[in-house]
């Protein structure tokens, strides 16, 4: 029983993306506060927000603030996805495929695998997804982890990351166990 995980090159790529995401998130927090003249000090946050709103906000403040707010909310979700990719392992055996990552454990019997398809035809790196016949995310005990995984991949899909070591062997094993054609 072989376990597949990110290659060293895949880990480096994920690390670079993770650092970039953290920098973007820090910039968004700083820019949001400076645009609205807010203080992140817990004792000063609400008074500074009220003062900023009382002074009136122009379009030059509202539009950048909304953009930064979107980044403040979305970037932690991206960071979570990168961390999930970083620690993902796939273990195919005679009974099915096991996916493990950051407390997420999903076991997919081979009968539940409907196919493997490309998730991003336009990307430089191949990214495939395993399409499942049923919702396997109910196996994730922690509701927060279940929500984060579902928001990233949905209820009936598992990613096969581009940076996996021996990725072609994993896809071949999945197709072998499920009797899928190489094009499926």
Q: What percent of the chain has pLDDT over 90?
A: 64
Rounded distance between C-alpha atoms, residue 23 and residue 17, angstroms: 10
d(CA 17, CA 5): 18
pLDDT band at 181 (very low <50, low <70, confident <90, very high): very low
Residue 62's pLDDT band, with cuts at 50, 70 and 90, is confident
Q: Are strands 89-92 and 96-101 parallel, antiparallel or unpaired?
A: antiparallel
pLDDT of residue 180: 59
**Quick one: pLDDT band at residue 182, thresholds 50, 70, 90?**
low
At residue 130, does pLDDT exceed 60?
yes
108-112's contacts with Cβ under 8 Å and 24+ in sequence apart are 108/132, 108/136, 108/158, 110/177, 110/178, 112/136
Chain centroid to CA 148: 8
Looking at the predicted structure, is the pLDDT value of residue 93 above 50?
yes
For 24, phi and psi rounded to 5 degrees? -65, -40
**DSSP H/E element including 55:** helix 45-55
pLDDT above 70 (res 184): no
- pLDDT, mean of residues 77-102: 94
pTM for the structure as a whole? 0.83
Joined together, the tokens standing for residue 69 give 């707010």
Q: Which residue has the higher pLDDT, 73 or 123?
A: 73
Residue 27 DSSP SS3: helix
Query: Hunting for tokens 């906000």 — which residue is that?
Result: 57
**In this predicted model, which residue has the larger pLDDT, 35 or 41?**
35
Rounded-to-integer distance, Cα 91 and Cα 169, Å: 12
β strands within 62-181, DSSP E: 89-92, 96-101, 104-109, 113-118, 128-132, 157-160
């Amino acid at each position: 029983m072989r376990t597949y995980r990110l290659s060293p090159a895949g880990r480096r790529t994920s690390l670079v993306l993770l650092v970039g995401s953290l920098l973007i998130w820090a910039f968004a927090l700083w820019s949001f506060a400076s645009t609205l003249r807010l203080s992140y000090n817990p004792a000063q946050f609400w008074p500074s927000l009220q003062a900023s709103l009382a002074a009136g906000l122009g379009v030059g403040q509202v539009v950048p603030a909304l953009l930064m707010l979107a980044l403040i909310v979305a970037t932690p979700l991206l960071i979570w996805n990168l961390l999930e990719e970083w620690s993902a392992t796939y273990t195919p055996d005679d009974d099915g495929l096991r996916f493990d990552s950051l407390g997420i454990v999903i076991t997919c019997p081979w009968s539940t695998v409907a196919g493997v398809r490309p998730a991003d035809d336009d990307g430089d790196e191949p990214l495939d997804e395993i399409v499942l016949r049923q919702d396997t995310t109910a196996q994730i005990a922690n509701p927060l982890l279940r929500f984060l995984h579902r928001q990233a991949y949905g209820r009936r899909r598992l990613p096969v990351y581009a940076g996996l070591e021996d990725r072609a062997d994993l896809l071949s094993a999945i197709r072998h166990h499920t009797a899928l054609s190489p094009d499926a």
